[in-house]
Amino acid sequence: MTLIKSISGIRGTIGGPQGDNLTPVDAVLYASAYGTWVQQQRNKESHKVVVGRDARISGEMVQQLVMNTLVGMGIHVVDLGLSTTPTVEMAVTMEHADGGIILTASHNPKQWNALKLLNSKGEFLNAEAGQEILDIAESGAMTFAEVDNLGKITRNDAYIDLHIDEILALDLVNVPVIKKANFKVAVDAVNSTGGIAVPLLLEALDVEPVKLYCEPTGHFPHNPEPLKEHLGDLMELVVKQHADFGIVVDPDVDRLAFVDEKGEMFGEEYTLVAVADYILRKNPGTTVSNMSSSRALRDVTETHGGTYTASAVGEVNVVQQMKDTNAVIGGEGNGGIIYPELHYGRDSLVGIALFLSFLAEEKIAVSELRKRYTSYFMSKKKIELTPQLDVDAILKEMESRYANEQINTLDGVKIDFAENWVHLRKSNTEPIIRIYTEAKSQEEADALADRFIGELKEIAG
């Protein structure tokens, strides 16, 4: 069982000893540390925080603990109840709130939960802010409100609808053309809040949803990470129902993957590629993904005369790079779409609407669309090292070995070869180097990863 305290939030398994797992005591500790941080950001009479959760079984318990901790600090809470990560992000700005907390462990199994923390822009905290909250929790320097100054909880169930309204109002979401296309789409929402939000969006676009695992019970029917090996039921349903394609989202609806009309995976890495292709046709410009995402985004960006840049891994880093380069679209290869015309956060709902617009305008089958993009294959492996080894020195030696190649050291060491690439990253929590590779065949990608594992072992001695 696990409790992971990091600058990006507090994540752990429910139950067990306090401090080793995400227990009620830990939920209160880190919620109060976050509340203290929020109060330090703006010196004013009262503060407001938006709180929402995915459907996992522990969610209601953790949410009550978190909300009432904030109330005890004199902070007012807007309770969204069952919601999605992007909806909570948008609600923070719509409410002019001082921050937000999303209770979700994303693609982790049902025994996990987490406090994901947002700033007043509805964006994930940067490393500095995250560290400040960890320091506050460590110091125990939290002060609570006297009885006359307690916060209040206000329930608001409208925000998923408001989120959808904002999506439908976007210039590049072609509502009339989508409505004329008479799409039929299968939806696997892994029995979480996507089962509420995705069908509502589709129905607003006159798209017929065929629901699979759309009851928000929190009992995930399969591993909730939207990968091919977990999606056999959706693949079968698409073919059986003669659907135009299938949609799968993770429990908090910030990762998006598609299944084509033949029941084959479109490819999680290609969600962003296809949406970017659509955006760049209308609005050429810069794109961003993280360094471990597919080269296919660079390819499609350059096809449209744009510039692609890579950020360090992590949504907060992608967002900062997008702001720095004024990117028109960006995200992560795990199916995360960030469309700044709506907000700076991964958002499956806007990804679905833009993808539907592209299909409807092109009048093209999903399998045919996929053929437009170069096929790349990835390998993701790791090498465990002894704690005594200097991982930074090992990566520095690897950088020296390949000094004549295109090197990026923003986040570990990424080496771009003509036909493939390798990205070496150290873990922040254990003596591990992660090896990501991409090539034009699975065999080549695996062989490249194995080659670098061998070289790392050789350097490590």
Catalytic residues: 106
Residue 190, both tokens: 């892994």
Running DSSP on this structure, what letter comes out for residue 149? G
Residue identified by tokens 């990501």 is 436
Q: If you ran DSSP here, which 8-state letter would residue 295 be given? A: T
DSSP 283: S
Tokens representing 308? 């692609």
Q: Quote the distance between the C-alpha of residue 296 and its chain's center.
A: 19
3-class SS of residue 301 = helix
Spell 2-18 as b/e; 16+ CB within 10 A means b. Answer: ebebebbbbbbbbeeee
How many Å apart are CA 382 and CA 311, to the nearest integer? 21
Tell me the residue ranges of DSSP E strands in 18-98.
Answer: 47-53, 75-82
> Which tokens is 129 given?
């802010």
Q: Which residue has the tokens 């408001």?
A: 162
Nearest to 52 by CA among 34, 14, 78: 78
Residue 325 neighbours by CB under 8 Å, 6+ apart: 286, 288, 307, 309
- Regarding beta strands 9-13 and 112-118, do their DSSP bridges make them parallel or antiparallel, or are they unpaired? antiparallel
C-beta separation of 86 from 160 below 8 A: no
Asked if 55 contacts 218 with a C-beta cutoff of 8 angstroms, the reply is: yes
Q: Which residues of 238-252 are buried (b: 16+ CB within 10 A; e: fewer)?
A: beeeebbbbbbbbbb
In whole angstroms, what is the distance from residue 400 CA to residue 170 CA?
Answer: 47
